[in-house]
């Protein structure tokens, strides 16, 4: 059995320090296993959020050696173990305790996005018809596990703290999934521009890089949404048309 | 005096997985003021892990399917111990519940003519599972979540219920704590729906998350409700076995539905050697026929890999025991072989099973399009649960409802894959509707302050003493259940388990936790442990009482089915004096028309 040392941020409400823990490690361990072993053997009050341990629920987001990752999907053999592995909470959200952050802001934001409104059913039995190729893109967006790692790395939120003006990549993906849903009849372009701050995104693609589901957030969701907003609001022909219609 | 915040609701739903959210949506739609309590963040519940699909006889892929076939399949899979009325309602209502999800934004994979695509799964005669690749549970929970948040329900995230409150012979609410600050919360409610999921954390090798500590089962038991069928714990045949860190993580049955085969180390498809009598007529007798079935040939019968989970799991155990297992104590599951048989080869596998591809690639360095996976049984699901009225989902305690995995009856002795997600939808809706109705007819009860005080005091005791680490006790409990009340059971071992459970209970009463009440994992474990111990004892006592092998219960000392035992369900409840009472309760006679359906589908 070999050992490894983990430097874990301990503290609450933003105040704390890194503390070292050395444990025995075994083949195939992931960072979350190490945290659990530390919790069971050395620090039983260590706060960590997790659920499925299979990369499906998006609960165990943290920053491992400075990289935003899911703890359950980060294998120890992918990290240099000759030096301590640092584990700290996501930085774009307020700290609660140790590795746990307050992500409730995300739930409030989602509530502000207009919900799905389908067109009337296509068939008399109340069902719809959709071709697979017409839903492939939306299915990509719906793979999102809401781990909020994209929110964590977005500089608009992380550095500039514009949480009250910008919904962040997660909710642009969510909006894109609704806007590109073949059945949806809602319109969210005005909200995107006015309340959801789509203009703040300057397409640095940091979000795309950290997505554990490999969703092409910037290219497939945000840029097409920006184009829709531009078409709606800044297209001179459309403006003219709208004036005449009035 | 304990300090707590008070919340008032018409209907309180405990649990926010598929059943809880569906119940909350329905209760709101019926005009109730609804509160939802969830141990995790919203959208993270165990439903998210369901992979294969939702079973519903939509007949989109095979027009021969209908509710009668689904009903007969469910009863056969459950070895006829199922509550037939639940099985009937489930089969009839599942299609509408799936279509409804589409109306709320769910995007299932499509057939060529644009309808919801359905896939093959173990024990289902026709392709029946509506799905989205291998992430159907995520699609379902996100759809319910995104629809639910606009229906007015109030959600208490990261909040755990410690006890249900009774007054005047009916339910009056619940008392618990929120994890973030550890503050106590009192929920006064006219009706309560339990939707807390299962008990998998009682076992060492499990596909279940930390949440699955049998809370709803234990809360209902303590409140005086009966639990049934608790001896039936489903061990899913295919969990990961290597490396050790990932042991138990689920490998979807969808792999076999898409043509994956199980082999022992000699390269033999061992399931062909042991096909149970009641499935022989429906099962392929050669490999080619099995393959044709997975590719949609309506004249072919299904391969034995798609027999029921209890059977496949037992065959794997046998192969390993008799020395024909894989290097790490499992068997081989091979999907790579289909590359040469399908257009697209490796890309086809990745498209059909994207999460499986990533799971093995990332966690085990295995490319499933190139090499076989090593798999073995993992604790997955409990068929048993709170005894409920089939139509209303109300338990023996007036005002207390249960739905989903924590309710018993639908699945009998063994659940078919895909029947869980449909269960959540069908009975979540029914529970929500009837809880709202009950709330309309009943006011808020006055509460017993002593019950609240005692619960709060008891919850805080681990902070006040020095003693053993709760993680150690939980670990020992998981070892004990795995070793002595696992997939193959013997009376003598289970009696030994009962003795050791007594010792663990003593130890659990003395565990101590360090730190304060804020998000303290040790404290949460100490509290959850109490529920795990109760349900472990219930499982063990029920398993001892069923002196036969049937469905998920395999008794080495009673290896065959016993006709007489097939007439009973085993019920467990807490007597007024606090004793655990186990009784055999005769099954209700099935109406002639349902018997007729089963006879037709033989």
What pLDDT, in 10s, does the model give residues B533-559?
Answer: 999 999 999 999 999 999 999 999 999
- Nearest-angstrom CA–CA distance, A138 and B505: 50
Q: Is the separation of the CB atoms in B409 and B587 below 8 Å? A: no
**How far apart, in whole angstroms, are the C-alpha atoms of residue B186 and residue B558?**
47
Evaluate whether B235-379 and B449-564 have a shared fold. no
Residues of B in contact with A75 (CB under 8 A): 362-363
Share of chain B above pLDDT 70, in %: 100
Name the token pair of A58. Answer: 């998006």
Q: If you ran DSSP here, which 8-state letter would residue A14 be given?
A: T
Instruction: State the pLDDT at residue B172.
Output: 95
Q: Is B357 helix (H, G, I), strand (E, B) or coil?
A: helix
Chain A residues closer than 8 Å to B246 by CB: 28, 30
pLDDT confidence tier of residue B319, bands split at 50, 70 and 90: very high
The residue whose two tokens read 């990932």 is B246
Structure tokens at A51: 């659920």
Q: Is the predicted pLDDT of residue B26 greater than 90, yes or no?
A: yes
For residue B25, give both structure tokens.
């949506």
Average pLDDT of the residues in B141-145: 98
Q: Which two tokens stand for residue B290?
A: 């099995």
Q: At what angle do helices B84-103 and B136-148 cross, to 10 degrees?
A: 70
Smallest CA–CA distance from A49 into chain B, residue:
B40
For B394-437, write each residue's pLDDT tens digit. Answer: 999 999 999 999 999 999 999 999 999 999 999 999 999 999 99
pLDDT at residue A13, rounded to an integer:
84
pLDDT at B69 > cutoff 80: yes
Q: At the top level of CATH, which class does the domain B235-379 belong to?
A: alpha beta
Dihedral sign, Cα of residue B390, residue B396, residue B398, residue B404? negative
Q: How far apart are CA B399 and CA B92, in angstroms?
A: 26
Give the pTM.
0.95
The predicted structure's pLDDT at residue B168: 85
Is residue A91 packed enough to be buried (19+ CB in 10 Å), middle (13-18) or exposed (0-12)? middle
Chain A interface, mutation test: which of B17, B362, B521, B527, most A Cβ atoms within 10 Å?
A: B521
| Token code pair at residue A70 | 């899911």
pLDDT (mean) for B50-65: 95
Sheet holding B227-228, edge to edge: B385-386, B227-228, B568-574, B580-586
In CATH, A104-240 is 3.30.360.10: no
pLDDT at B246: 86
Return the number of other C-beta atoms located less than 10 Å from residue B402's C-beta. Answer: 34
CB of B13 closer than 8 Å to CB of B34: yes
pLDDT at B234: 96
CATH of domain B4-232+383-441: 3.50.50.60
Q: For the domain with range A2-101, which CATH number is right: 3.40.640.10, 2.60.40.10, 3.10.20.30, 3.40.1210.10? A: 3.10.20.30
Q: Which of A56, A126, A181 sits opposite B138 (nearest CB)?
A: A56
The overall average pLDDT reported for chain A is 94
At residue B295's C-alpha, the angle toward residues B294 and B297, to 5°, is 95
* Res B481: pLDDT: 97
pLDDT of B484 reads 97
pLDDT band of B450, cuts 50, 70, 90 = very high
On whether the B449-564 domain is CATH 1.20.58.100, my answer is: yes
Tell me which chain A residues have a C-beta less than 8 angstroms from the C-beta of B48. 51-52, 56-57, 145
Q: Where are the domains of chain A?
A: 2-101, 104-240
Residue of B nearest to A179 (CA): B105
Q: Which of A110, A135, A184 is opposite residue B149, by nearest beta carbon?
A: A110
Answer yes or no: do B521 and A48 touch at CB < 8 A: yes
User: Any alpha helices (H) in chain A, and if so which ranges?
Assistant: 31-41, 104-111, 132-141, 149-153, 155-158, 169-179, 189-194, 206-210, 223-234, 236-245
Q: Give, for B96, the enclosing helix (H) or strand (E).
A: helix B84-103
pLDDT greater than 70 at residue B391: yes
How many CB atoms within 10 Å of residue B463? 17
pLDDT at B16 over 90: yes
- At residue B500, does pLDDT exceed 80? yes
How wide is the angle at C-alpha B504 spanned by C-alphas B502 and B506, nearest 5°?
Answer: 75
Q: What is the pLDDT of residues A57-102, one digit of tens each?
A: 999 999 999 999 999 999 999 999 999 999 999 999 999 999 999 9
How far is the C-alpha of A113 from the C-alpha of A13, rounded, in Å? 29
Residues of A in contact with B180 (CB under 8 A): 96, 102
User: B132 to chain A: nearest residue by CA?
Assistant: A139
- How distant is the alpha carbon of residue B7 from its chain centre? 29
Q: How far apart, in whole angstroms, are the C-alpha atoms of residue B404 and residue B196?
A: 8
SS3 (DSSP) at B104: coil
The candidate with the shortest Cα–Cα distance to A113, out of A186, A62, A30, A33, is A186
Q: What is the mean pLDDT of residues A143-156?
A: 98
Mean pLDDT of B119-146: 95
Higher pLDDT, B444 or B586: B586
Confidence of residue A106 (pLDDT cuts 50, 70, 90): very high
Residue B278 banded pLDDT, cuts 50, 70, 90: confident
Q: What is the DSSP letter of B46?
A: G
Contact B146 A104 (CB under 8 A): no
Task: Give me chain B's average pLDDT, please.
Answer: 96
Confidence of residue A1 (pLDDT cuts 50, 70, 90): low
Residues of B known to be catalytic:
236, 256
DSSP B211-260: T-S-HHHHHHHHTT--EE-TT-EEEEEEEE-SSGGGTT-B--THHHHTT-
Domain ranges of chain B: 4-232+383-441, 235-379, 449-564
Task: Measure the CA angle with vertex B59, ends B53 and B64; round to 5°.
Answer: 125
Spatial contact of B559 and B578, defined as CB atoms under 8 Å apart: no
Residue A234 pLDDT more than 80? no
What is the reported pLDDT for A246?
59
Structure tokens at A156: 């608009």
Among B260, B308, B258, residue whose Cα is nearest residue B283: B308
Nearest CB among B41, B359, B521 relative to A103 is that of B41
Helix (H, G, I), strand (E, B) or coil at A63: strand
Instruction: Give the separation between CA B595 and CA A45, rounded to whole angstroms.
Output: 56
């Amino acid at each position: 059995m070999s050992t490894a040392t983990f430097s874990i941020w301990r503290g609450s409400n933003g105040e704390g320090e890194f503390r070292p823990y050395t444990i025995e490690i075994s083949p195939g361990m992931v960072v979350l296993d190490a945290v659990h072993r530390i919790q069971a053997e050395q620090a039983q009050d260590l706060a960590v959020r997790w659920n499925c341990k299979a990369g499906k629920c998006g609960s165990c987001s943290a920053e491992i050696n400075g990289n935003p990752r899911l703890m359950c999907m980060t294998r120890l053999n992918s990290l240099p173990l000759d030096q301590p592995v640092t584990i700290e909470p996501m930085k774009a959200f307020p700290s609660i305790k140790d590795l746990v952050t307050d992500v409730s802001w995300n739930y409030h934001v989602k509530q502000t996005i207009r919900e799905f409104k389908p067109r009337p059913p296509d068939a008399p039995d109340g069902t719809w018809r959709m071709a697979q190729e017409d839903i492939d893109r939306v299915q990509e967006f719906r793979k999102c596990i809401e781990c909020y790692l994209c929110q964590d790395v977005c500089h608009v939120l992380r550095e500039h703290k514009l949480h009250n003006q910008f919904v962040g990549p997660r909710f642009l993906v969510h909006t894109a999934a609704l806007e590109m849903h073949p059945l949806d009849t809602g319109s969210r372009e005005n909200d995107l521009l006015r309340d959801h701050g789509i203009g703040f995104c300057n397409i640095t693609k940091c979000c795309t890089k950290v997505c554990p589901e490999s969703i092409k957030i910037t290219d497939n969701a945000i840029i097409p949404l920006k184009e829709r907003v531009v078409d709606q609001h800044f297209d001179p022909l459309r403006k003219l048309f709208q004036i005449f219609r009035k | 005096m304990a300090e707590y915040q008070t919340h008032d609701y018409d209907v309180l739903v405990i649990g926010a997985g598929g059943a809880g959210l569906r119940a909350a949506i329905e209760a709101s739609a019926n005009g109730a003021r609804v509160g939802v309590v969830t141990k995790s963040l919203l959208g993270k519940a165990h439903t998210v892990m369901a992979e294969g699909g939702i079973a519903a006889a939509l007949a989109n892929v095979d027009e021969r399917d209908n509710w009668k076939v689904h009903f007969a399949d469910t009863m056969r899979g459950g070895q006829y111990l199922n509550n037939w009325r639940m099985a009937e309602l489930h089969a009839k209502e599942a299609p509408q519940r799936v279509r409804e999800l589409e109306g709320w934004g769910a995007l299932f994979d499509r057939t060529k003519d644009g309808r919801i695509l359905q896939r093959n799964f173990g024990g289902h005669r026709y392709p029946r599972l509506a799905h989205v690749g291998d992430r159907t549970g995520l699609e379902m929970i996100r759809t319910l979540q995104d629809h639910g948040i606009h229906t007015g329900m109030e959600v208490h995230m990261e909040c755990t219920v410690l006890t249900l409150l009774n007054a005047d012979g009916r339910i009056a609410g619940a008392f618990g704590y929120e994890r973030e600050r550890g503050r106590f919360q009192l929920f006064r409610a006219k009706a309560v729906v339990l939707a807390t999921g299962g008990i998998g954390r009682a076992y060492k090798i499990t596909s279940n998350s930390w949440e699955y500590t049998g809370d709803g089962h234990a809360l209902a038991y303590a409140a005086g409700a009966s639990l049934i069928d608790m001896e039936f714990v489903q061990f899913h045949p295919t969990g990961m076995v290597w490396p050790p860190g990932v042991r138990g993580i689920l490998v979807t049955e969808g792999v076999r539905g898409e043509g994956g085969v199980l082999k022992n180390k000699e390269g033999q498809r061992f399931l062909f050697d042991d096909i149970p009598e009641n499935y022989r007529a429906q099962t392929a007798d050669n490999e080619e026929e099995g393959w044709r079935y997975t590719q949609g040939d309506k004249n072919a019968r299904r391969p034995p890999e798609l027999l029921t989970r209890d059977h496949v799991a037992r065959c794997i155990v046998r192969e390993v025991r008799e020395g024909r297992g894989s290097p790490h104590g499992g068997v081989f599951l091979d999907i790579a072989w289909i590359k040469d048989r399908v257009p697209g080869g490796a890309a086809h596998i990745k498209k059909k099973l994207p999460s499986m591809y990533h799971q093995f690639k990332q966690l085990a360095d295995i490319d499933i399009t190139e090499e076989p996976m090593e798999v073995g049984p993992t604790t997955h699901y409990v068929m048993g649960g709170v005894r409920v009225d089939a139509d209303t989902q109300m338990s023996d305690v007036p005002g207390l409802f249960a739905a989903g995995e924590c309710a018993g009856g639908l699945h009998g002795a063994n659940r078919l894959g895909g029947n869980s997600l449909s269960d959540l939808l069908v009975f979540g809706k029914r529970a929500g509707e009837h809880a709202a109705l009950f709330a309309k007819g009943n006011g808020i009860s006055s509460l017993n302050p002593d019950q609240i005080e005692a619960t709060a005091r008891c919850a805080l005791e681990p902070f006040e003493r020095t003693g053993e680490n709760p993680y150690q006790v939980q670990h020992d409990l998981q070892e004990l259940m795995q070793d002595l009340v696992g997939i193959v059971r013997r009376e003598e071992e289970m009696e030994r388990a009962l003795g050791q459970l007594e010792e663990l209970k003593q130890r659990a009463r003395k565990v101590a936790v360090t730190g304060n009440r804020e998000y303290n994992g040790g404290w949460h474990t100490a509290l959850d442990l109490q529920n795990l111990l109760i349900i472990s004892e219930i499982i063990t006592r029920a398993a001892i009482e069923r002196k036969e092998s049937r469905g998920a219960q395999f008794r080495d000392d009673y290896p065959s089915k016993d006709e007489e035992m097939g007439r009973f369900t085993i019920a467990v409840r807490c007597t007024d004096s606090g004793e655990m009472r186990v009784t055999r309760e005769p099954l209700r006679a099935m109406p002639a028309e349902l018997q007729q359906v089963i006879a037709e589908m033989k």
